């Protein structure tokens, strides 16, 4: 699993580097996952779990891109509980994720730091959750993977990280 995470991080960094002009010194994100096999709620199959972690890494990259050039966002995801509950799909294929607005809201436990030139500007540990995830506007479409988790991360980033 560690090899998968290393490859995931390398691919994410390479994709981010290729998407930018060579002269741009934009902010970057470094994302690690502490024991993802033990997270509260991630998909069971390795390919689905990898897809979820890849989506989260890409989203942290997107958030870091809004930081001033030269700053770095480091995130260590300690636990993850996705919105909804997984129900087995007896017809085959991947399991279904059902959201009912009960005690199935998204949660992410993470540590983060913002640094520039080797100096830590801001850091902390957060336990994010969104109990109202089904009852508020979401800027992500219905078909967007992890739309509730991404909205929760956007809110956290705007309120906690981007403010100085």
Ranges of beta strands (E only) in 19-70 are 28-33
Q: Quick one: which H or E segment has residue 78?
A: strand 71-81
pTM summary value? 0.75
Distance CA 119, CA 103 (A): 40
CB 159 within 8 A of CB 122: no
pLDDT of 107-156, one tens digit each?
999 999 999 999 999 999 999 988 877 777 778 888 888 888 999 999 99
Q: Quick one: which H or E segment has residue 129?
A: strand 119-129
3-state class of 101 per DSSP? Answer: coil
């Amino acid at each position: 699993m560690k090899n998968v995470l290393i490859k995931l991080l390398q691919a994410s960094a390479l994709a981010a580097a290729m998407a930018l002009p060579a002269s741009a010194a934009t902010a970057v994100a470094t994302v690690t996952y502490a024991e993802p096999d033990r997270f509260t709620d991630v998909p069971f199959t390795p390919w689905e779990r990898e897809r979820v972690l890849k989506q989260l890494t890409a989203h942290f990259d997107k958030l870091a891109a809004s930081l001033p050039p030269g700053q770095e966002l480091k995130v260590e995801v300690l636990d993850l509980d996705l919105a909804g509950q997984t129900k087995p799909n007896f017809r085959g294929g991947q399991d279904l994720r059902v959201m009912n607005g009960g005690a199935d809201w998204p949660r992410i436990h993470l540590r983060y730091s913002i640094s520039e030139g080797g100096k830590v500007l801001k850091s902390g540990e957060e336990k994010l959750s969104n109990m109202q995830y089904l009852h508020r506007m979401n800027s992500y479409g219905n078909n967007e993977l992890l739309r509730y988790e991404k909205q929760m991360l956007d809110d956290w980033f705007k309120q906690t990280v981007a403010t100085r």
